[in-house]
Amino acid sequence: METAGARGARPLRRVGLRHRLGQHPARPGLDLFAGRRRTAALIPRILVLAGDTAAGSPAARLAQEATRALSPTDAALTAAALADYPLPFFEGPPPGSGHVEEAPQNARLLAQRLALQDGLLLVCPEINAGPPAALKNALDWAGAVGAADPAGRPPFARLVVALAATGAGGEDGRSALAQLRAILASLGADVLTAELRLAAGEDAFDASGRIRDPAMRARLDDLLDRLFDASRALGRQGG
């Protein structure tokens, strides 16, 4: 999923450890992909995208924790943040629909980045019972770029997506992820049933940026394992 530095000492069940050892047990939770073509011996290309424009936010810190967790695996990892792709407000397909050059450069760059991935971990905060407006805007732009260039690599079709959200106060991310799930499905992505909701906000992380709750860290590891498995088995490389 992302590029990352060395990860601290963890229990034996470390995310992706079995992949490094060449073990690939079947996982529950991949049933929704039954009947799909499976690709053998694939090094999955995974993007971790922080769907927040605020540096150091709980969502950004959760994305960084996912990066550390994924770094020992053999995935080709990329890290990015929504702030890397500032975009104007999306008001429909660009003028002269069908000409991808009419879209903003950052929309084209984001669509290209997504098109190169087999899997995506999308992390966002919940704001007023929904995802950030800037994230919905970016997804709309990337989808428009893909629709305007049907001969190109699609940004979302057959992309395996795992969702995670942070919340504060009475929000736990549930509403934001439900809306994102519907948006991404409409764009053609394969969204995993499993998801992660971290409700404690800033208090969820220690001074080093790690998740405090061991049970929540284990849930993150499990989600990343599922994303790794599905991205490897159902990767978009070669067709």
Would 182 be classed as within a structural domain? yes
Number of structural domains (the chain) is 1
Would 2 be classed as within a structural domain? no
Would 11 be classed as within a structural domain? no
Would 7 be classed as within a structural domain? no
Which pTM was predicted?
A: 0.82
- Take residue 25 and report the two structure tokens written for it: 């047990």
Write the CB contacts of 34 (distance below 8 Å, at least 6 apart in sequence): none
Q: For the segment 149-169, what is each residue's pLDDT rounded down to a tens digit?
A: 877 889 999 999 999 999 887
Instruction: Name the residue range of residue 109's domain.
Output: 17-233
Would 188 be classed as within a structural domain? yes
What is the structure's pLDDT at 169?
A: 75
Q: For the segment 181-200, what is each residue's pLDDT rounded down to a tens digit?
A: 999 999 999 999 999 999 87
Would 145 be classed as within a structural domain? yes
Give the CATH number, domain containing residue 100.
Answer: 3.40.50.360
Query: CA–CA separation, 91 vs 43, rounded Å?
Result: 37
Would 206 be classed as within a structural domain? yes
Q: Work out the average pLDDT over 11-38.
A: 41
Under the phi-then-psi rule, with left for phi > 0, alpha for psi from -120 to 50, and beta for the rest, what region is 92? left
Would 10 be classed as within a structural domain? no
pLDDT averaged over every residue in the chain: 82
Q: For the segment 211-221, what is each residue's pLDDT rounded down to a tens digit?
A: 999 999 999 99
Q: For the segment 61-75, what is each residue's pLDDT rounded down to a tens digit?
A: 999 999 999 999 999
